[in-house]
Amino acid sequence: MSDYISHDHEHDGIDRRGFLQCMAWAGTGLLWTVSGGVLASKTLAQIAKAGNALPTTSDLSFLQISDSHIGFSKEANKDVTETFKIALDRINAMATPPAFLIHTGDITQLSKPEEFDTFDQVLKGCRTKDVFFVPGEHDVLNDGGKLYRERYLKSVGARGAGWYSFNKNGIHFIALVNVLNLQAGGLGQLGDEQLEWLEADVKSLGADTPIVVFAHIPLWAVYPQWGWGTSDSERALGYLKRFGSVTVLNGHIHQVLQKVEGNVTFHSAMSTAFPQPAPGTAASPGPMKVPAEKLRSMLGLTSIQYKQGKTALAVVDSNLS
């Protein structure tokens, strides 16, 4: 198949086919540039070849890690603490350290205090000290998230089940919780109280304020049959419709997937623990067993760069191999 562009509606050098081809490469290290809701991409190898290092002059660079699952010890990865350490080593080795990290949930496998302890202990080895958290369903298994909130959400003034917002370099960050009070037969859920808070939270912001939302379960219908979606996410996104740049980051599905809808870019990150199957390709979404030599290529982290004055956010996934 040749790489010609058949339809270039946006005059940006990328058509639907080109976009889908880029999607196929996601996960092997790509620089995604989002400009006015349109994607362009280069592989990391291409950037290195051209002598262009990743942007170092950007006003803000932060990093997303997700789904550490400390305590998991099954065949899919018998040492998740080690792969989490490797992810932190990668962060420590970055020429320009990220301003902060966000962890999009599932720190632990079973919400056990000793699993949280191990995570905290290993995290101490990270040069970047500021970390913002949102819980995954594995973090709130038996106590409705009480222990999690005490450990990770006290310093950010979280409300309700643990939602909060903050500003950095002109960007408004919103941390949402969609793993609690789930209903039989349903998906992830934000709930009325949180949605009302969200509406009020963004009300006074100008439409040119870049928005970054992060939550554990995807806020788009990735694959509802496996519970990979949030039942009331449409209402949340409705409150964000007027903004020119919205980036939504999630974990939960242990693989890179991206979708653009108007000015909203949805991006899901790899896990540092084990991969999960692509939507609908297995009997269930349980941990995916891959050959040992392949495992680290399916684990990873996500770097996000923002340059003030532009609507573009660059989202780069890199694996641990």
Partner 1 sequence: MTTFFLKNKLAILLFILTFFNALLFAFAGEKKEIEPPPTGQNKIEIKEFNFYPQTITVKSGEKITWVNRDEEPHTVVSVDQKFKKSSALDTDQEFTITAGVPGTYTYFCSVHPKMTGTIIVEK
* Helix, strand, coil fractions of the chain, as percent rounded to 5: 25, 25, 50
> Sign of torsion, CA 77 288 259 33?
positive
DSSP assigned state of 152: I
Would you say 55 or 218 has its CB closer to partner 1?
218
Write down the least CB distance from residue 143 to partner 1, Å.
10
Give 281's contacts (C-beta < 8 A, 6+ positions apart): none
Write down the least CB distance from residue 142 to partner 1, Å.
5
Contact assessment for residue 134 and residue 103, using Cβ atoms and an 8 Å cutoff: yes
Write down the least CB distance from residue 226 to partner 1, Å.
7
The whole-angstrom separation of Cα 302 and Cα 320 is 11
Give 294's contacts (C-beta < 8 A, 6+ positions apart): none
Would you say 140 or 175 has its CB closer to partner 1?
140
Give contact residues for partner 1 (rule: CB under 8 A): 74-76, 109-111, 137-138, 141-142, 182-187, 225-227, 283-287
The whole-angstrom separation of Cα 8 and Cα 72 is 46
Would you say 16 or 78 has its CB closer to partner 1?
78
Task: Name the amino acid, one letter, at 312.
Answer: A
Give 155's contacts (C-beta < 8 A, 6+ positions apart): none
Would you say 14 or 187 has its CB closer to partner 1?
187
Write down the least CB distance from residue 186 to partner 1, Å.
5
Write down the least CB distance from residue 225 to partner 1, Å.
7
CA atoms within 13 A on the CB side of 124: 6
Would you say 40 or 290 has its CB closer to partner 1?
290
Would you say 275 or 285 has its CB closer to partner 1?
285
Write down the least CB distance from residue 115 to partner 1, Å.
12
